Chains A and B, each alone.
Chain A
Amino acid sequence: MENKLRVLRAMKDITQENLAHELSVTRQTIHAIEVGKYDPSLELAFKLARFFELRIEEIFQYKE
């Protein structure tokens, strides 16, 4: 799974630490998602989508 989290975060000028705080996760989780080492749960994906005011598929792209 690929994602645009790093780009979106840069566009919104928010640090990993602050985003993690907003979503009640650890900074390491945000980092792991950005580098593609961890796929978030559906709940966290929805939280991210809501935070960036986008649809989930605009943030995450599933690759076969």
Chain B
Amino acid sequence: MVNYTWVCMEFGTYKRARSAITVIIGAVVAYAVLQNSILIALAGVTIGLMTMLILRRSVTNVTHDERSAMIQNKAASATLAITTIGLAVVGLSMVFLGRQGIDDFEGTGYILAITANFVLGLNVLMSYYYSKRLGG
């Protein structure tokens, strides 16, 4: 593990640095689009993300613990539920509208509905995997 203690910083300082880097990345990407150069964009994003990673590792405060892990779990579960239900409802609605002859919705509807099923299937698989891994 590389030691990044030579750039120790508080979490508040890190958040400000992260905001600044995000703005700089945005500006570089915008410049790359104007110059029609994917290389500049790729270099800007890569350097920016690596800088953020190094700065993140140099934060001295504890920023992640059991409570924040629980919050992330709950947020992920809620996001999964909302996203899959939304995809399924919109997808099936589009299939229905497509069959009524309204534009070319049917194909897109199927894609959204299948995506919802895929995400749910992946969730079941990952739950099974972690259940086994954690002694289930």
Contacts and interface: CB of A to CB of B under 8 A. Distances in A.
A47 B70 CA distance: 19
Contacts of A40: 66
15 contacts: A24-B65, A25-B65, A25-B66, A25-B67, A26-B63, A26-B65, A29-B65, A29-B66, A29-B67, A32-B67, A38-B67, A38-B70, A41-B66, A43-B66, A44-B66
Contacts, number: 29
Interface of B: 61-68, 70
Tell me which of A26, A29, A32, A43 has the highest count of chain B C-beta atoms within 10 A of its own C-beta.
A26
B67 A20 contact: no
Contacts of A28: 67-68
Nearest to A37: B67
Leading 10 A-B pairs by shortest Cβ distance: A25-B65, A29-B67, A41-B66, A26-B65, A24-B62, A29-B65, A26-B62, A38-B67, A25-B62, A32-B67
